[in-house]
């Protein structure tokens, strides 16, 4: 604001000469008061400055710059409403007076009035349509207000006058992507790539943007191009491997990751994908080795710990499964999924059921409508011989996940324990529709 005071002094020297006042004596006295005010401002004595500016306006009420100087001091003294009122008077005296508009903008932004600030910026842009600073501020406010159509128009104006528009485009793209305005981001990305199709990072961002719109073909193709341009960027390899893994192309996933390791050092995302693909191929020992290597690099990754626990559980290595679940629970600050998984590990074996019950209740505290957790609770009650409470929990689980074969089988087992064979058979048959190769269900139906 100190710069604005000095600007106002210069304008005053010109302004007092440039317009008519009541008399030469009053003009001289008003000028003297204004200069005294600027000196007081320079000394930080804003109350004295206010007095002198008020005296200057009493002698000459037609000088817009004096209103601006006085408004500035009111703003510095924490009186924004009084400052805005003075600026409005300045704009009556002199329409579209830029110093008044600029100070008004600063105050409105400082007091959290973006909508009014936008209106002021539009007046400034109208007065100076090629002022990049005004245009950028206007764009920022339009983005803040979510007025994306207006933001697009302002950006087009910036593109015509700003030589650094490409750099600025990246910032706008980031805002659009954060706001979920993916299609707008794509338009800007495509315009940047049209001028430089060798920028791997832009191709990657465009690819991920297309994926968000559901166009996986275009998205994967662009990410593959980025990967070819810059094979030293690990995240491009990781993305490609993830796509293959998601399509259950496990051998291809491993091929991509093997290629990646020719260009980049081993790192947790690569090793975790490798471990997942190996596990899906039934190569459990190699999968465990990959996950353990990942944990050597990132010992805080509770997701990796939980995955190891699942593998050991599947191998019926109870001691290792429990150890890794407990580590995952500790590292994740008791994430509900690991509490539930450990509880279910106990429940399926019919051991430590009271402890398992405590674990799953903690999980349900965090996510009370989770069907998997409700099923675990029901199965623990079943294991404890509490069949009526078990049925209640399992029925609630089915309402949350009505197409889960395991839960349906659990309901059938509970009805059978309660002596309702007909109901049990009905649930077994419904479960079999979802899992026709389940030998346990076939055996129960044929009993």
Contact at 8 Å (CB) between 19 and 62?
yes
For residue 240, the Cα-to-chain-centroid distance in whole angstroms is 23
What CATH number does the domain located at 300-388 have?
1.25.40.10
In the block, residue with structure tokens 């659009």: 176
Contact at 8 Å (CB) between 105 and 96?
no
Q: How many CB atoms lie within 10 A of CB 246?
A: 10
Say what the pLDDT of residue 15 is.
46
CA distance 99 to 224: 52
Tokens representing residue 334 in the block: 């008791």
Q: How many CB atoms lie within 10 A of CB 129?
A: 12
Tell me the pTM: 0.69
Q: Which CATH class is domain 1-112?
A: mainly alpha
Contact at 8 Å (CB) between 199 and 192?
yes
CA distance 126 to 331: 57
Per-residue pLDDT of the chain (447 residues; tens, 9 = 90+): 444 544 444 444 444 444 444 456 777 787 888 888 888 888 888 888 889 889 888 888 888 888 998 998 888 899 999 999 999 999 999 998 889 998 988 999 888 999 999 999 999 999 888 888 888 888 888 888 989 899 888 888 877 776 666 667 887 888 888 788 899 889 889 988 988 889 999 999 999 999 988 999 999 999 999 999 999 999 999 999 999 999 999 999 999 999 999 999 999 999 999 999 999 999 999 999 999 999 999 999 999 999 999 999 999 999 999 999 999 999 999 899 999 999 999 999 999 999 999 999 999 999 999 999 999 999 999 999 999 999 999 999 999 998 899 999 999 999 999 999 999 999 999 999 999 999 999 999 988
Contact at 8 Å (CB) between 184 and 176?
yes
Q: Is the dihedral of CA 309, 314, 320, 326 positive or negative?
A: positive
Hey, where are the domains in the chain?
1-112, 231-280, 300-388, 403-447
Say what the pLDDT of residue 393 is.
98
In the block, residue with structure tokens 């080795």: 289
Tokens representing residue 54 in the block: 């008020």
The number of residues in the chain equals 447
Tokens representing residue 112 in the block: 């959290």
Name the residue among 154, 171, 158 with its Cα closest to residue 132.
Answer: 158
CA distance 275 to 289: 8
HEC string of the chain? Answer: CHHHHHHHHHHHHHHHHHCCCCCHHHHHHHHHHHHHHHHHHHCCCHHHHHHHHHHHHHHCCCCHHHHHHHHHHHHHCCCHHHHHHHHHHHHHHCCCCHHHHHHHHHHHHHCCCHHHHHHHHHHHHHHCCCCHHHHHHHHHHHHHCCCHHHHHHHHHHHHHHCCCHHHHHHHHHHHHHHCCCHHHHHHHHHHHHHHCCCCHHHHHHHHHHHHHCCCHHHHHHHHHHHHHHCCCCHHHHHHHHHHHHHCCCHHHHHHHHHHHCCCCCCCHHHHHHHHHHHHHCCCHHHHHHHHHHHHHHCCCCHHHHHHHHHHHHHCCCHHHHHHHHHHHHHHCCCCHHHHHHHHHHHHHHCCCHHHHHHHHHHHHHHCCCCHHHHHHHHHHHHHCCCHHHHHHHHHHHHHHCCCCHHHHHHHHHHHHHCCCHHHHHHHHHHHHHHCCCCHHHHHHHHC
177 phi, psi to nearest 5 deg = -65, -40
Say what the pLDDT of residue 13 is.
42
For residue 342, the Cα-to-chain-centroid distance in whole angstroms is 31
401 phi, psi to nearest 5 deg = -135, 85
Say what the pLDDT of residue 387 is.
98
Contact at 8 Å (CB) between 114 and 145?
yes
| Identical topology for domains 1-112 and 300-388 | yes
HEC string of 303-342? Answer: HHHHHHHHHHHHCCCHHHHHHHHHHHHHHCCCCHHHHHHH
Tokens representing residue 392 in the block: 């209640």
């Amino acid at each position: 604001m100190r710069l604005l005071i000095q600007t106002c002094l210069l304008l005053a020297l010109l302004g007092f000469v440039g317009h008519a006042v009541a008399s030469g004596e009053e003009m001289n006295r008003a000028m003297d008061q204004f200069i005294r005010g600027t000196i007081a401002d320079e000394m930080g004595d804003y109350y004295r400055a206010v007095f002198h500016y008020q005296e200057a306006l009493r002698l000459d009420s037609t000088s817009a710059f004096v209103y601006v100087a006085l408004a500035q001091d009111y703003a510095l003294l924490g009186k924004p409403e009084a400052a805005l009122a003075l600026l409005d008077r300045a704009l009556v005296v002199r329409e579209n007076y830029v110093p008044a508009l600029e100070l008004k903008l600063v105050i409105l932004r400082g007091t959290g009035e973006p909508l009014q600030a936008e209106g002021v910026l539009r007046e400034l842009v109208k007065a100076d349509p090629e002022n990049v600073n005004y245009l950028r501020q206007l764009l920022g406010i339009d983005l803040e207000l979510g007025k994306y159509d207006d933001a697009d128009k302002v950006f087009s104006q910036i593109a015509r006058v700003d030589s650094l528009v490409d750099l600025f485009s990246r910032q706008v793209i980031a805002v659009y992507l954060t706001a979920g305005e993916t299609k707008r981001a794509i338009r800007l990305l495509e315009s940047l790539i049209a001028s430089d199709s060798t920028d791997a990072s832009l191709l990657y961002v465009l690819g991920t943007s297309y994926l968000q719109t559901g166009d996986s073909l275009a998205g994967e193709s662009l990410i593959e191009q980025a990967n070819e341009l810059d094979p030293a960027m690990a995240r491009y390899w990781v993305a490609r491997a993830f796509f293959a893994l998601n399509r259950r192309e496990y051998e291809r996933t491993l091929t991509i990751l093997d290629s990646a390791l020719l260009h980049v050092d081993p790192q947790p995302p690569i090793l975790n994908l490798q471990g997942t693909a190996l596990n899906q191929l039934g190569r459990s020992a190699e999968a465990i080795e990959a996950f353990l290597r990942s944990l050597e690099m990132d010992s805080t990754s509770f997701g990796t710990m939980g995955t190891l626990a699942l593998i050991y559980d599947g191998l019926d290595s109870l001691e290792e499964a429990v150890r890794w679940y407990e580590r995952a629970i500790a590292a994740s600050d008791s994430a509900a999924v690991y509490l539930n998984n450990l509880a279910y590990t106990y429940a399926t074996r019919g051991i430590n059921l009271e402890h398992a019950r405590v674990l799953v209740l903690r999980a349900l505290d965090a996510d009370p409508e989770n069907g998997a957790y409700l099923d675990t609770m029901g199965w623990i009650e079943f294991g404890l011989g509490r069949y009526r409470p078990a049925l209640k929990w399992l029925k609630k689980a089915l309402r949350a996940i009505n197409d889960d074969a395991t839960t349906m089988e659990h309901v059938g087992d509970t009805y059978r324990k309660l002596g309702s064979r007909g109901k049990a058979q009905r649930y077994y048959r419904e479960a079999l529709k979802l899992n026709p190769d389940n030998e346990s269900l076939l055996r129960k139906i044929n009993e």
